[in-house]
Amino acid sequence: MKKSLIILASLAFTLNVFAQNDVNMGIIPAPLSVVKKQGSFVLDKTVVLISNDIENAKTADLLNAFIVSKGGFALREAKLAVAGQKAVILTSKGAELLSKEGYNIHISPNQIKLNGAGAGLFYAVQSLMQMMPEKKKDKITLSAVIINDEPRFKYRGTHLDVARHFFPISFVKKYIDLLATYKMNNFHWHLTDDQGWRIEIKKYPKLTSVGGSRNGTIIGNYPGTGGTDNETYKGYYTQEEIKQVVAYAATKYINVIPEIEMPGHASAAIAAYPDLSCFPDRDTFINEKTPWSGSRKGKQVQQTWGVFDDVFTPTENTFKFLEDVIDEVIGLFPSKYIHIGGDECPKEYWKQSSFCQQFIKDNNLKDEHGLQSYFIQRMEKYINSKGRSIIGWDEILEGGLAPNATVMSWRGEKGGIDAAQQNHDVIMTPGSAGLYFDHKQSASPDEPLTIGGLSSYAKVYAYDPIPKELTVAQQKYILGVQANIWTEYIESPSKVEFMLLPRLFSLAEIAWSKPSNKDFKNFSEERVPVHLARLDKTNTNYWVPTPIGMPDKSQDGERFKIELKAPVVGAKIFYTLDNYRPSENATRYVSPITLIVPQGQMKILKTIVITPSGRRSVVVETILNNGAVLIKTK
């Protein structure tokens, strides 16, 4: 346990002394209320740690482990402080007056008092750790302040797809640590899809022995030009490993929501048990534009990306299979919610199946959309009978929404708006708002291969999860917000981190902080650079932002004053004006520069950021044009 506490503490990424001059005390997400006071508290080895509530022991250990890693000393634990002795106090007394997950911090010259219950106290500690500057002469000095804080939304989620690419338990735990540092409270674990089944189901062992392995993976962008790599790709989590992750997440006050896809995205399950298909003897659908590795005979775990026609058939055998799977899933996950997918379900096989067409008639369903609604509603009734509730992607609205379903709105906001207007709970996760973290983070050609789209951390920060179309009464159905990481083109833990950070910072702030407390200038210029500087000292990867203040792509005029700021504390900016790519051998930017462009000419300013650890930003450029004719090239 101590090892895990130290790991989490190291991921808290405390801030340097400049952060204490920030209006938000360097905290991400921005607190509800910050009132600065006179004086400061000096934290050293003479300070005692007081935490008399047994239920707060792990949170107190977390803080002490962090102080050891930060200051080089541990605080002595005591029941109470003697006269004149300075103390750090963790308490839940009076926390019943706070909102759920709320907390307050009171720092005076004599004590640091953290108040909250459960998650609230845990978040107070996270904020305190973020506030701590670097030590000086074995002392850490914190400014006196009163902070009152609580979340805007009760659901603050981040998703991870492990079906397309599989990640070890050690990384899943690290991912959870990162979420906890920034006060996220739901981890949506996408465990099954066409390209792999990743959770052990003991009653159906072929789900992992067959469905957990594919015979190759597409090369390059979908639909690909180089076929697949012909290499077996496999992996799954045992039930014991699942229990480990769920228990670990609980210590960080994170709920783990499993997703078992149905009725579409089922190729891996059908490869293991072909009788789940409308056409058990039909070969797996092949996209003829994509060369296929291996045999074309029989059912296959898909090697390419996309949407496939082979979906679950609505037989009693299929429903019994899914109920058995759900029984084992419920036994592993205490989450109120079970995510059943429901998205991108093709109807072609249902249209071709005489059984399905008769089923539609026998059950007085309007069409295949009605069949999808029947499928979802039947599974919802079963899950409800087990005391749980379902979440589905917004396609579950098609044909009629299941009575108690919560909708994840991903195809824009419309699905969420429609669901809220029908008095259904909603989690906003629209890709159009930048909440698909598998999208590239800038328009630079230096960005790595992604599925497409554009999602900068500025775009994420600008999003408000409450649609303007909703009335005040309807707004209460918006439970919160989530970002998704689909992994078609994310093959390694390092790339997951690269795609997650710093967009996680923006997500945390729109999920936790009230809109009136948001300030992108303060966020991007004061807090993000310091948090990234701490990441830079660890083995955690991240996307390095481009220089703050870099002009737009094209500027017209004769005289240009260029004022830039490093987006990571301690990073260096290098630039060129000769259309060559900058590197550490280019001119270093150290202070504002004035550029004069003669009439009829232009200069191309290109920049790169290089951090102390050697991480690099993408190269970005802007054209400074004084009447030159721009010739477009292909």
Q: Which of 423, 376, 421 is nearest to 395 (CA)?
A: 376
> 3-state DSSP call for residue 348?
helix
CB of 28 closer than 8 Å to CB of 13: no
Cα(296)–Cα(302) distance, rounded to whole angstroms? 11
Residues, the chain: 634
Distance of CA 359 to the CA centre of its chain: 40
Angle (deg, nearest 10), helices 316-332 and 368-385: 40
Cα(573)–Cα(55) distance, rounded to whole angstroms? 48
Q: Report whether the peptide linkage leading into residue 448 is cis, meaning its omega lies within 30 degrees of zero.
A: no
Cα(285)–Cα(296) distance, rounded to whole angstroms? 9
Q: Which of 265, 270, 269, 264 is nearest to 282 (CA)?
A: 270
CB of 406 closer than 8 Å to CB of 395: no
> 3-state DSSP call for residue 323?
helix
Which listed residue (241, 344, 398, 558) is catalytic?
A: 344
Q: Report whether the peptide linkage leading into residue 598 is cis, meaning its omega lies within 30 degrees of zero.
A: no
Q: Which of 463, 445, 557 is nearest to 509 (CA)?
A: 463
Q: Which of 266, 259, 261, 212 is nearest to 236 (CA)?
A: 212
Which helix (H) or strand (E) segment holds residue 576: the answer is strand 572-576
Whether 558 sits among the annotated catalytic residues: the reply is no
Whether 265 sits among the annotated catalytic residues: the reply is yes
Whether 159 sits among the annotated catalytic residues: the reply is no
CB of 44 closer than 8 Å to CB of 138: yes
> 3-state DSSP call for residue 516?
helix
> 3-state DSSP call for residue 512?
helix
Cα(418)–Cα(409) distance, rounded to whole angstroms? 10
Cα(605)–Cα(554) distance, rounded to whole angstroms? 10
> 3-state DSSP call for residue 247?
helix
SS3 letters for 581-620? CCCCCCEEECCCEEEECCCCEEEEEEEEEECCCCCECCCE
Q: Which of 416, 530, 421 is nearest to 482 (CA)?
A: 416
Give the full edge-to-edge strand order of the sheet including 572-576: 554-556, 620-626, 601-610, 572-576, 587-589
Which listed residue (159, 165, 188, 265) is catalytic?
A: 265
CB of 230 closer than 8 Å to CB of 215: yes
Cα(165)–Cα(489) distance, rounded to whole angstroms? 8
Cα(493)–Cα(310) distance, rounded to whole angstroms? 30
Distance of CA 317 to the CA centre of its chain: 36
DSSP assignment of 115-126 equals EESTHHHHHHHH
Q: Which of 183, 142, 133, 145 is nearest to 530 (CA)?
A: 133
What DSSP designation does 55 have?
G
Which listed residue (193, 200, 380, 395) is catalytic?
A: 193
309: phi then psi, degrees, rounded to nearest 5: -70, -25
Q: Could you list the active site residues? A: 193, 265, 344
